[in-house]
Structure 1
Amino acid sequence: MRYYYAEHQAAYRRLEQEGLTQWNDLFEDDRTGDFDAFPNRAFLERALVRLGLTTADVLEYGCGTGAAACFLAARGFRVDAIDLIPEAIALARRFARQRGVSVNFSVQDVCAMPAGSKQYDVILDSYCLQSIVTDPDRASVLTAVRDRLKPNGHYILSTAMYDPDRVYEDNFRYDATTGICYERSTEPADDAVQLDNTWYLPHRRHLRPEALRAELEANGLQVLSQEGELRGDVICTPTRRG
Protein backbone atom coordinates (compact mmCIF):
# COMPACT_ATOMS: atom_id res chain seq x y z
CA MET A 1 0.00 0.00 0.00
CA ARG A 2 1.41 3.38 -1.03
CA TYR A 3 2.07 6.03 1.63
CA TYR A 4 -0.84 8.21 0.53
CA TYR A 5 -3.60 5.58 0.55
CA ALA A 6 -4.44 4.64 4.14
CA GLU A 7 -4.79 8.19 5.49
CA HIS A 8 -7.09 9.24 2.66
CA GLN A 9 -9.23 6.12 2.75
CA ALA A 10 -9.75 6.55 6.50
CA ALA A 11 -10.61 10.23 6.03
CA TYR A 12 -13.30 9.62 3.41
CA ARG A 13 -14.80 6.75 5.40
CA ARG A 14 -15.06 9.11 8.35
CA LEU A 15 -16.66 11.80 6.17
CA GLU A 16 -19.34 9.36 5.10
CA GLN A 17 -19.94 8.04 8.62
CA GLU A 18 -20.27 11.53 10.11
CA GLY A 19 -22.36 12.99 7.28
CA LEU A 20 -19.72 15.54 6.30
CA THR A 21 -19.19 16.80 2.77
CA GLN A 22 -15.52 17.66 2.22
CA TRP A 23 -12.00 17.15 3.56
CA ASN A 24 -11.83 20.42 5.50
CA ASP A 25 -14.91 19.40 7.50
CA LEU A 26 -12.66 16.93 9.34
CA PHE A 27 -10.99 19.88 11.07
CA GLU A 28 -13.07 22.04 13.37
CA ASP A 29 -11.14 25.23 12.57
CA ASP A 30 -11.76 24.80 8.83
CA ARG A 31 -15.31 23.44 8.93
CA THR A 32 -17.93 25.46 7.08
CA GLY A 33 -20.70 22.90 6.68
CA ASP A 34 -21.11 24.24 3.15
CA PHE A 35 -20.23 21.91 0.26
CA ASP A 36 -19.95 24.86 -2.11
CA ALA A 37 -17.45 26.75 0.08
CA PHE A 38 -14.44 24.68 -0.97
CA PRO A 39 -11.06 26.18 -0.03
CA ASN A 40 -9.81 27.25 -3.46
CA ARG A 41 -13.13 28.51 -4.81
CA ALA A 42 -12.23 32.21 -4.75
CA PHE A 43 -8.93 31.57 -6.54
CA LEU A 44 -10.60 29.30 -9.10
CA GLU A 45 -13.23 31.95 -9.85
CA ARG A 46 -10.53 34.59 -10.36
CA ALA A 47 -8.52 32.25 -12.58
CA LEU A 48 -11.49 31.49 -14.81
CA VAL A 49 -12.18 35.21 -15.26
CA ARG A 50 -8.53 36.00 -15.92
CA LEU A 51 -8.27 33.24 -18.53
CA GLY A 52 -11.61 34.14 -20.12
CA LEU A 53 -12.96 30.62 -19.68
CA THR A 54 -16.72 30.11 -19.79
CA THR A 55 -16.73 26.55 -21.11
CA ALA A 56 -13.90 24.07 -21.50
CA ASP A 57 -12.81 20.46 -21.10
CA VAL A 58 -11.51 20.05 -17.55
CA LEU A 59 -9.69 17.29 -15.69
CA GLU A 60 -9.57 17.53 -11.92
CA TYR A 61 -7.31 15.03 -10.20
CA GLY A 62 -7.55 14.32 -6.48
CA CYS A 63 -11.12 15.59 -6.66
CA GLY A 64 -12.18 14.27 -3.27
CA THR A 65 -15.93 14.64 -2.77
CA GLY A 66 -16.21 16.67 -5.97
CA ALA A 67 -17.01 20.18 -4.76
CA ALA A 68 -14.86 21.97 -7.35
CA ALA A 69 -15.89 19.55 -10.11
CA CYS A 70 -19.58 20.16 -9.36
CA PHE A 71 -18.97 23.92 -9.26
CA LEU A 72 -17.47 23.80 -12.76
CA ALA A 73 -20.07 21.43 -14.19
CA ALA A 74 -22.87 23.70 -12.94
CA ARG A 75 -21.31 26.49 -15.01
CA GLY A 76 -21.22 24.53 -18.23
CA PHE A 77 -17.73 23.03 -18.11
CA ARG A 78 -17.25 19.44 -19.29
CA VAL A 79 -15.54 17.78 -16.34
CA ASP A 80 -13.66 14.53 -15.85
CA ALA A 81 -12.70 14.07 -12.19
CA ILE A 82 -10.59 11.34 -10.62
CA ASP A 83 -9.58 10.29 -7.14
CA LEU A 84 -7.63 7.39 -5.73
CA ILE A 85 -10.19 6.54 -3.06
CA PRO A 86 -13.42 4.72 -4.04
CA GLU A 87 -15.23 6.14 -1.01
CA ALA A 88 -14.44 9.67 -2.19
CA ILE A 89 -15.78 8.99 -5.68
CA ALA A 90 -18.96 7.42 -4.26
CA LEU A 91 -19.59 10.58 -2.23
CA ALA A 92 -18.76 12.81 -5.21
CA ARG A 93 -21.25 10.99 -7.42
CA ARG A 94 -23.93 11.33 -4.76
CA PHE A 95 -23.35 15.06 -4.33
CA ALA A 96 -23.37 15.59 -8.10
CA ARG A 97 -26.69 13.74 -8.42
CA GLN A 98 -28.16 15.83 -5.61
CA ARG A 99 -27.18 18.98 -7.49
CA GLY A 100 -28.32 17.76 -10.88
CA VAL A 101 -24.92 18.20 -12.51
CA SER A 102 -23.05 15.84 -14.80
CA VAL A 103 -19.44 14.98 -13.99
CA ASN A 104 -17.53 11.96 -15.28
CA PHE A 105 -16.11 10.65 -11.99
CA SER A 106 -13.73 7.68 -11.88
CA VAL A 107 -11.37 5.95 -9.46
CA GLN A 108 -7.80 6.45 -10.59
CA ASP A 109 -4.38 7.01 -9.05
CA VAL A 110 -2.88 10.17 -10.52
CA CYS A 111 0.58 8.84 -9.65
CA ALA A 112 0.03 5.95 -12.06
CA MET A 113 -2.15 7.39 -14.80
CA PRO A 114 -2.26 5.23 -17.93
CA ALA A 115 -1.31 6.73 -21.24
CA GLY A 116 -4.22 8.55 -22.81
CA SER A 117 -4.93 10.62 -25.87
CA LYS A 118 -7.54 13.03 -24.45
CA GLN A 119 -6.28 16.52 -23.84
CA TYR A 120 -7.82 19.25 -21.72
CA ASP A 121 -8.19 23.00 -21.70
CA VAL A 122 -7.80 23.00 -17.92
CA ILE A 123 -6.29 20.60 -15.42
CA LEU A 124 -7.21 21.43 -11.84
CA ASP A 125 -5.57 20.52 -8.55
CA SER A 126 -7.55 21.52 -5.46
CA TYR A 127 -5.03 20.85 -2.68
CA CYS A 128 -3.89 17.40 -3.80
CA LEU A 129 -0.24 17.98 -4.75
CA GLN A 130 1.03 18.48 -1.19
CA SER A 131 -0.01 14.87 -0.44
CA ILE A 132 2.08 13.60 -3.35
CA VAL A 133 5.43 13.65 -1.63
CA THR A 134 8.26 11.74 -3.28
CA ASP A 135 10.22 13.09 -6.23
CA PRO A 136 9.26 10.22 -8.60
CA ASP A 137 5.56 10.51 -7.78
CA ARG A 138 5.51 14.28 -8.22
CA ALA A 139 7.39 13.98 -11.51
CA SER A 140 4.84 11.39 -12.70
CA VAL A 141 1.94 13.68 -11.81
CA LEU A 142 3.42 16.78 -13.41
CA THR A 143 4.40 14.84 -16.53
CA ALA A 144 0.82 13.57 -16.78
CA VAL A 145 -0.43 17.14 -16.43
CA ARG A 146 1.95 18.43 -19.10
CA ASP A 147 1.08 15.65 -21.54
CA ARG A 148 -2.69 16.04 -21.10
CA LEU A 149 -2.86 19.81 -21.52
CA LYS A 150 -3.74 21.27 -24.89
CA PRO A 151 -0.96 23.54 -26.24
CA ASN A 152 -2.82 26.61 -24.96
CA GLY A 153 -4.28 24.86 -21.92
CA HIS A 154 -3.84 25.85 -18.29
CA TYR A 155 -2.92 24.05 -15.08
CA ILE A 156 -4.70 25.67 -12.14
CA LEU A 157 -3.07 24.57 -8.91
CA SER A 158 -3.78 25.23 -5.25
CA THR A 159 -1.38 23.54 -2.87
CA ALA A 160 -0.30 23.84 0.76
CA MET A 161 3.05 25.57 1.15
CA TYR A 162 5.78 25.97 3.71
CA ASP A 163 4.47 28.13 6.54
CA PRO A 164 6.95 29.45 9.11
CA ASP A 165 4.14 29.49 11.67
CA ARG A 166 3.17 25.84 11.16
CA VAL A 167 3.99 23.62 14.14
CA TYR A 168 4.84 20.00 13.38
CA GLU A 169 3.80 17.70 16.21
CA ASP A 170 6.16 15.22 17.86
CA ASN A 171 5.37 12.33 15.53
CA PHE A 172 6.24 14.42 12.47
CA ARG A 173 9.60 15.46 11.14
CA TYR A 174 10.12 18.25 8.61
CA ASP A 175 13.12 18.33 6.27
CA ALA A 176 13.69 21.98 5.35
CA THR A 177 16.02 20.99 2.51
CA THR A 178 13.43 19.01 0.56
CA GLY A 179 10.21 20.39 2.03
CA ILE A 180 9.16 16.85 2.96
CA CYS A 181 7.21 16.27 6.15
CA TYR A 182 7.52 12.69 7.42
CA GLU A 183 5.17 10.91 9.83
CA ARG A 184 6.55 8.38 12.30
CA SER A 185 5.71 4.78 11.44
CA THR A 186 5.57 1.85 13.84
CA GLU A 187 7.31 -0.48 11.38
CA PRO A 188 9.00 -0.56 7.99
CA ALA A 189 6.50 -0.37 5.14
CA ASP A 190 6.32 0.51 1.47
CA ASP A 191 7.89 3.95 0.93
CA ALA A 192 9.14 4.17 4.53
CA VAL A 193 12.52 5.74 5.27
CA GLN A 194 14.68 5.35 8.34
CA LEU A 195 15.81 8.54 10.07
CA ASP A 196 17.88 8.32 13.26
CA ASN A 197 16.89 4.66 13.68
CA THR A 198 13.19 5.49 13.45
CA TRP A 199 10.87 4.61 10.56
CA TYR A 200 8.94 7.41 8.88
CA LEU A 201 6.47 7.57 6.01
CA PRO A 202 6.23 10.48 3.56
CA HIS A 203 3.27 12.61 4.64
CA ARG A 204 3.25 16.06 2.98
CA ARG A 205 5.45 18.24 0.76
CA HIS A 206 5.50 21.87 1.92
CA LEU A 207 7.68 23.82 -0.49
CA ARG A 208 8.72 27.43 -0.48
CA PRO A 209 7.42 29.50 -3.42
CA GLU A 210 10.67 29.54 -5.37
CA ALA A 211 11.08 25.76 -4.99
CA LEU A 212 7.55 25.10 -6.26
CA ARG A 213 8.12 27.36 -9.26
CA ALA A 214 11.40 25.62 -10.07
CA GLU A 215 9.75 22.20 -9.86
CA LEU A 216 6.93 23.20 -12.18
CA GLU A 217 9.30 24.74 -14.71
CA ALA A 218 11.55 21.67 -14.61
CA ASN A 219 8.54 19.58 -15.59
CA GLY A 220 7.63 21.59 -18.68
CA LEU A 221 5.19 24.09 -17.17
CA GLN A 222 5.51 27.85 -17.50
CA VAL A 223 4.29 29.73 -14.43
CA LEU A 224 2.02 32.61 -15.41
CA SER A 225 1.05 33.67 -11.91
CA GLN A 226 1.74 32.65 -8.34
CA GLU A 227 -0.34 34.26 -5.62
CA GLY A 228 -1.98 33.79 -2.23
CA GLU A 229 -0.63 34.50 1.23
CA LEU A 230 1.95 31.72 0.93
CA ARG A 231 1.96 31.78 -2.90
CA GLY A 232 0.45 28.35 -3.34
CA ASP A 233 -2.18 29.41 -5.91
CA VAL A 234 -0.60 28.99 -9.34
CA ILE A 235 -1.59 29.18 -12.99
CA CYS A 236 0.65 27.47 -15.55
CA THR A 237 0.63 26.75 -19.24
CA PRO A 238 2.74 24.16 -21.11
CA THR A 239 6.20 25.32 -22.07
CA ARG A 240 6.42 25.51 -25.82
CA ARG A 241 8.54 22.75 -27.28
CA GLY A 242 11.14 23.08 -29.96
Structure 2
Amino acid sequence: MRYYYAEHQDAYRRLLREGMTQWNDLFGESWTFDDFPNRAFLESVLGRLVAGGEVLEYGCGTGPAACFLAGRGFRVDAVDLIPEAIAVARRMARERGVKVNFGVQDVCASPPGSKRYDVVLDSYCLQSIVTDADRAKVLRAVRERLKPNGYYVLSTAMYDPDRVYDGEFRYDARTGICYQETSVRSPDAVQLDGTWYLPHRRHLRPDALRTELAAAGLHVIEQDGGNVVAGLTYQAR
Protein backbone atom coordinates (compact mmCIF):
# COMPACT_ATOMS: atom_id res chain seq x y z
CA MET A 1 0.00 0.00 0.00
CA ARG A 2 1.41 3.39 -1.01
CA TYR A 3 2.08 6.09 1.59
CA TYR A 4 -0.92 8.20 0.55
CA TYR A 5 -3.58 5.50 0.52
CA ALA A 6 -4.47 4.63 4.12
CA GLU A 7 -4.98 8.21 5.30
CA HIS A 8 -7.33 9.05 2.45
CA GLN A 9 -9.20 5.76 2.61
CA ASP A 10 -9.83 6.17 6.33
CA ALA A 11 -10.86 9.82 5.90
CA TYR A 12 -13.38 9.26 3.14
CA ARG A 13 -14.84 6.17 4.78
CA ARG A 14 -15.45 8.25 7.90
CA LEU A 15 -16.84 11.09 5.81
CA LEU A 16 -19.30 8.75 4.10
CA ARG A 17 -20.23 7.02 7.35
CA GLU A 18 -20.93 10.28 9.20
CA GLY A 19 -22.83 11.98 6.39
CA MET A 20 -20.23 14.65 5.64
CA THR A 21 -19.80 16.08 2.15
CA GLN A 22 -16.21 17.30 1.79
CA TRP A 23 -12.69 16.91 3.21
CA ASN A 24 -12.73 20.04 5.39
CA ASP A 25 -15.74 18.70 7.33
CA LEU A 26 -13.36 16.22 8.94
CA PHE A 27 -11.52 19.08 10.67
CA GLY A 28 -14.51 21.17 11.76
CA GLU A 29 -13.73 23.94 9.29
CA SER A 30 -16.39 26.33 8.04
CA TRP A 31 -16.09 25.55 4.32
CA THR A 32 -19.16 24.04 2.66
CA PHE A 33 -19.46 21.90 -0.46
CA ASP A 34 -20.46 24.90 -2.58
CA ASP A 35 -18.13 27.34 -0.82
CA PHE A 36 -14.97 25.26 -1.12
CA PRO A 37 -11.43 26.53 -0.40
CA ASN A 38 -10.31 27.34 -3.95
CA ARG A 39 -13.63 28.56 -5.34
CA ALA A 40 -12.60 32.23 -5.35
CA PHE A 41 -9.42 31.33 -7.23
CA LEU A 42 -11.35 29.34 -9.84
CA GLU A 43 -13.79 32.22 -10.27
CA SER A 44 -10.85 34.57 -10.83
CA VAL A 45 -9.43 32.47 -13.69
CA LEU A 46 -12.67 31.59 -15.49
CA GLY A 47 -12.09 34.39 -17.98
CA ARG A 48 -8.91 32.69 -19.19
CA LEU A 49 -10.60 29.37 -19.88
CA VAL A 50 -12.29 28.17 -23.06
CA ALA A 51 -16.03 28.47 -22.47
CA GLY A 52 -17.51 24.99 -22.36
CA GLY A 53 -14.04 23.47 -22.57
CA GLU A 54 -12.97 20.04 -21.44
CA VAL A 55 -11.57 19.69 -17.92
CA LEU A 56 -9.74 16.88 -16.17
CA GLU A 57 -9.58 17.11 -12.37
CA TYR A 58 -7.39 14.58 -10.60
CA GLY A 59 -7.66 13.99 -6.86
CA CYS A 60 -11.16 15.46 -6.99
CA GLY A 61 -12.30 14.17 -3.59
CA THR A 62 -16.06 14.53 -3.28
CA GLY A 63 -16.14 16.79 -6.33
CA PRO A 64 -16.95 20.36 -5.25
CA ALA A 65 -14.66 21.99 -7.84
CA ALA A 66 -15.74 19.54 -10.55
CA CYS A 67 -19.41 20.29 -9.86
CA PHE A 68 -18.70 24.02 -9.81
CA LEU A 69 -17.12 23.94 -13.28
CA ALA A 70 -19.77 21.58 -14.68
CA GLY A 71 -22.41 24.03 -13.45
CA ARG A 72 -20.73 26.69 -15.57
CA GLY A 73 -20.89 24.66 -18.75
CA PHE A 74 -17.54 22.88 -18.73
CA ARG A 75 -17.32 19.21 -19.70
CA VAL A 76 -15.63 17.60 -16.74
CA ASP A 77 -13.87 14.29 -16.15
CA ALA A 78 -12.84 13.86 -12.51
CA VAL A 79 -10.99 11.05 -10.77
CA ASP A 80 -9.99 10.16 -7.23
CA LEU A 81 -8.10 7.35 -5.56
CA ILE A 82 -10.83 6.43 -3.07
CA PRO A 83 -14.15 4.82 -4.14
CA GLU A 84 -16.01 6.32 -1.16
CA ALA A 85 -15.03 9.83 -2.28
CA ILE A 86 -16.38 9.15 -5.76
CA ALA A 87 -19.61 7.72 -4.34
CA VAL A 88 -20.24 11.01 -2.50
CA ALA A 89 -19.16 13.03 -5.55
CA ARG A 90 -21.69 11.30 -7.80
CA ARG A 91 -24.47 11.94 -5.28
CA MET A 92 -23.56 15.61 -4.92
CA ALA A 93 -23.51 16.06 -8.71
CA ARG A 94 -26.94 14.43 -9.02
CA GLU A 95 -28.34 16.70 -6.31
CA ARG A 96 -27.05 19.76 -8.18
CA GLY A 97 -28.26 18.59 -11.57
CA VAL A 98 -24.80 18.72 -13.14
CA LYS A 99 -23.06 16.14 -15.28
CA VAL A 100 -19.54 15.03 -14.34
CA ASN A 101 -17.84 11.88 -15.53
CA PHE A 102 -16.43 10.61 -12.23
CA GLY A 103 -14.07 7.64 -11.95
CA VAL A 104 -11.78 5.86 -9.50
CA GLN A 105 -8.12 6.19 -10.42
CA ASP A 106 -4.75 6.50 -8.70
CA VAL A 107 -3.13 9.48 -10.37
CA CYS A 108 0.32 8.15 -9.42
CA ALA A 109 -0.38 4.95 -11.33
CA SER A 110 -2.47 6.33 -14.18
CA PRO A 111 -2.20 4.56 -17.52
CA PRO A 112 -1.26 6.71 -20.50
CA GLY A 113 -4.23 8.50 -22.03
CA SER A 114 -4.72 10.01 -25.44
CA LYS A 115 -7.45 12.52 -24.58
CA ARG A 116 -6.24 16.09 -24.16
CA TYR A 117 -7.95 18.79 -22.14
CA ASP A 118 -8.34 22.54 -22.12
CA VAL A 119 -7.80 22.47 -18.35
CA VAL A 120 -6.14 20.06 -15.97
CA LEU A 121 -7.22 20.94 -12.44
CA ASP A 122 -5.70 20.12 -9.06
CA SER A 123 -7.65 21.23 -5.98
CA TYR A 124 -5.28 20.50 -3.10
CA CYS A 125 -4.11 17.08 -4.22
CA LEU A 126 -0.48 17.79 -5.10
CA GLN A 127 0.66 18.38 -1.51
CA SER A 128 -0.25 14.74 -0.73
CA ILE A 129 1.86 13.51 -3.65
CA VAL A 130 5.16 13.69 -1.86
CA THR A 131 8.06 11.81 -3.42
CA ASP A 132 10.11 13.20 -6.31
CA ALA A 133 9.25 10.20 -8.50
CA ASP A 134 5.51 10.44 -7.91
CA ARG A 135 5.37 14.20 -8.44
CA ALA A 136 7.41 13.93 -11.63
CA LYS A 137 5.04 11.24 -12.91
CA VAL A 138 1.95 13.31 -12.13
CA LEU A 139 3.33 16.51 -13.66
CA ARG A 140 4.44 14.61 -16.75
CA ALA A 141 0.87 13.32 -17.09
CA VAL A 142 -0.42 16.88 -16.71
CA ARG A 143 1.85 18.05 -19.52
CA GLU A 144 0.85 15.16 -21.77
CA ARG A 145 -2.89 15.65 -21.20
CA LEU A 146 -2.98 19.40 -21.88
CA LYS A 147 -3.98 20.77 -25.26
CA PRO A 148 -1.32 23.06 -26.79
CA ASN A 149 -3.00 26.18 -25.38
CA GLY A 150 -4.43 24.50 -22.29
CA TYR A 151 -3.98 25.53 -18.68
CA TYR A 152 -2.86 23.68 -15.57
CA VAL A 153 -4.86 25.23 -12.73
CA LEU A 154 -3.35 24.27 -9.39
CA SER A 155 -4.20 24.94 -5.75
CA THR A 156 -1.80 23.38 -3.27
CA ALA A 157 -0.77 23.88 0.36
CA MET A 158 2.55 25.68 0.73
CA TYR A 159 5.24 26.16 3.34
CA ASP A 160 3.97 28.30 6.19
CA PRO A 161 6.49 29.53 8.78
CA ASP A 162 3.72 29.47 11.39
CA ARG A 163 2.87 25.81 10.79
CA VAL A 164 4.15 23.62 13.62
CA TYR A 165 5.59 20.19 12.87
CA ASP A 166 5.83 18.37 16.17
CA GLY A 167 4.98 15.09 17.82
CA GLU A 168 4.94 12.41 15.14
CA PHE A 169 5.75 14.84 12.31
CA ARG A 170 9.11 15.99 11.01
CA TYR A 171 9.79 18.61 8.35
CA ASP A 172 12.77 18.64 6.00
CA ALA A 173 13.32 22.26 5.01
CA ARG A 174 15.65 21.26 2.17
CA THR A 175 13.05 19.20 0.29
CA GLY A 176 9.82 20.58 1.71
CA ILE A 177 8.78 17.07 2.77
CA CYS A 178 6.81 16.54 5.94
CA TYR A 179 7.25 13.02 7.30
CA GLN A 180 4.96 11.17 9.71
CA GLU A 181 6.27 8.58 12.14
CA THR A 182 5.14 5.06 11.28
CA SER A 183 5.33 1.46 12.37
CA VAL A 184 4.52 0.31 8.83
CA ARG A 185 7.50 -1.04 6.89
CA SER A 186 6.24 -0.12 3.45
CA PRO A 187 8.52 0.45 0.44
CA ASP A 188 7.94 4.19 0.92
CA ALA A 189 9.15 4.25 4.55
CA VAL A 190 12.44 5.99 5.32
CA GLN A 191 14.57 5.87 8.44
CA LEU A 192 15.68 9.19 9.92
CA ASP A 193 17.85 9.25 13.03
CA GLY A 194 16.77 5.74 13.92
CA THR A 195 13.02 6.36 13.53
CA TRP A 196 10.85 5.19 10.63
CA TYR A 197 8.70 7.69 8.77
CA LEU A 198 6.33 7.79 5.80
CA PRO A 199 6.11 10.75 3.42
CA HIS A 200 3.03 12.74 4.43
CA ARG A 201 2.94 16.16 2.72
CA ARG A 202 5.08 18.34 0.46
CA HIS A 203 5.05 22.00 1.53
CA LEU A 204 7.19 24.01 -0.87
CA ARG A 205 8.01 27.68 -1.02
CA PRO A 206 6.68 29.55 -4.10
CA ASP A 207 10.04 29.67 -5.90
CA ALA A 208 10.60 25.93 -5.37
CA LEU A 209 7.17 25.17 -6.81
CA ARG A 210 7.89 27.31 -9.87
CA THR A 211 11.20 25.50 -10.36
CA GLU A 212 9.50 22.13 -10.12
CA LEU A 213 6.84 23.08 -12.66
CA ALA A 214 9.46 24.45 -15.04
CA ALA A 215 11.41 21.19 -14.84
CA ALA A 216 8.20 19.40 -15.85
CA GLY A 217 7.79 21.59 -18.94
CA LEU A 218 5.15 23.86 -17.43
CA HIS A 219 5.42 27.65 -17.51
CA VAL A 220 3.90 29.63 -14.64
CA ILE A 221 1.66 32.37 -16.00
CA GLU A 222 0.40 33.64 -12.68
CA GLN A 223 0.98 32.61 -9.07
CA ASP A 224 -0.41 33.70 -5.75
CA GLY A 225 1.22 31.43 -3.20
CA GLY A 226 -0.13 27.95 -3.89
CA ASN A 227 -2.69 29.12 -6.47
CA VAL A 228 -1.08 28.76 -9.88
CA VAL A 229 -2.06 28.99 -13.53
CA ALA A 230 0.50 27.36 -15.82
CA GLY A 231 0.73 26.41 -19.45
CA LEU A 232 2.99 24.34 -21.62
CA THR A 233 6.46 25.86 -21.91
CA TYR A 234 7.09 27.86 -25.10
CA GLN A 235 3.43 27.99 -26.10
CA ALA A 236 2.50 31.44 -27.46
CA ARG A 237 -0.41 33.14 -25.65
TM (normalized to structure 2)?
0.97
| Secondary structure of the structure 2 residue equivalent to 1:138 | helix
Counterpart for residue 240 of structure 1: 234
Counterpart for residue 99 of structure 1: 96
Q: What's the CA shift for 1:52?
A: 4.7
Which residue identity lines up with residue 38 of structure 2 in the other structure?
Answer: N
Which residue identity lines up with residue 139 of structure 1 in the other structure?
Answer: A
Which residue identity lines up with residue 12 of structure 1 in the other structure?
Answer: Y
Counterpart for residue 208 of structure 1: 205
Following the alignment from structure 1 to structure 2, what is the Cα–Cα distance between the partners of residues 187 and 172? 15
Counterpart mapping for 1:1-242 below 5 A: 1-28=1-28, 30-32=29-31, 34-49=32-47, 51-227=48-224, 231-240=225-234
Following the alignment from structure 1 to structure 2, what is the Cα–Cα distance between the partners of residues 85 and 58? 20
Following the alignment from structure 1 to structure 2, what is the Cα–Cα distance between the partners of residues 177 and 23? 29
Amino-acid identity (%): 71
Structure 1 stretches of at least 4 aligned residues deviating more than 6 Å after TM superposition: none
Unaligned runs of 5+ in 1: none
Which residue identity lines up with residue 237 of structure 1 in the other structure?
Answer: G
Q: What's the CA shift for 1:109?
A: 0.7
Unaligned runs of 5+ in 2: none
Following the alignment from structure 2 to structure 1, what is the Cα–Cα distance between the partners of residues 234 and 109? 25
Q: What's the CA shift for 1:98?
A: 1.1
Give the superposed CA RMSD. Answer: 1.0
Following the alignment from structure 1 to structure 2, what is the Cα–Cα distance between the partners of residues 42 and 191? 35
Following the alignment from structure 1 to structure 2, what is the Cα–Cα distance between the partners of residues 23 and 122? 23
- The answer to whether the 8 Å contact 2:49/2:119 transfers is no
| Secondary structure of the structure 2 residue equivalent to 1:216 | helix
Q: What's the CA shift for 1:115?
A: 1.0
Q: What's the CA shift for 1:169?
A: 2.5
- The answer to whether the 8 Å contact 2:49/2:118 transfers is no
Which residue identity lines up with residue 9 of structure 1 in the other structure?
Answer: Q
- Segment drifting more, 138-147 vs 231-240: 231-240
Following the alignment from structure 2 to structure 1, what is the Cα–Cα distance between the partners of residues 146 and 119? 7
Following the alignment from structure 2 to structure 1, what is the Cα–Cα distance between the partners of residues 183 and 30? 30
Q: What's the CA shift for 1:187?
A: 3.6
| Secondary structure of the structure 2 residue equivalent to 1:166 | coil
Following the alignment from structure 2 to structure 1, what is the Cα–Cα distance between the partners of residues 6 and 91? 22
Which residue identity lines up with residue 174 of structure 1 in the other structure?
Answer: Y
| Secondary structure of the structure 1 residue equivalent to 2:211 | helix
C-alpha distance after superposition, 1:30-66 (max 9, x if no partner): 233x2101100000110112x1542210000000000
Following the alignment from structure 1 to structure 2, what is the Cα–Cα distance between the partners of residues 52 and 19? 34
Count of aligned pairs between the two proteins: 235
- The answer to whether the 8 Å contact 2:129/2:201 transfers is yes
Q: What's the CA shift for 1:89?
A: 0.6
Which residue identity lines up with residue 20 of structure 2 in the other structure?
Answer: L
- The answer to whether the 8 Å contact 2:50/2:118 transfers is no
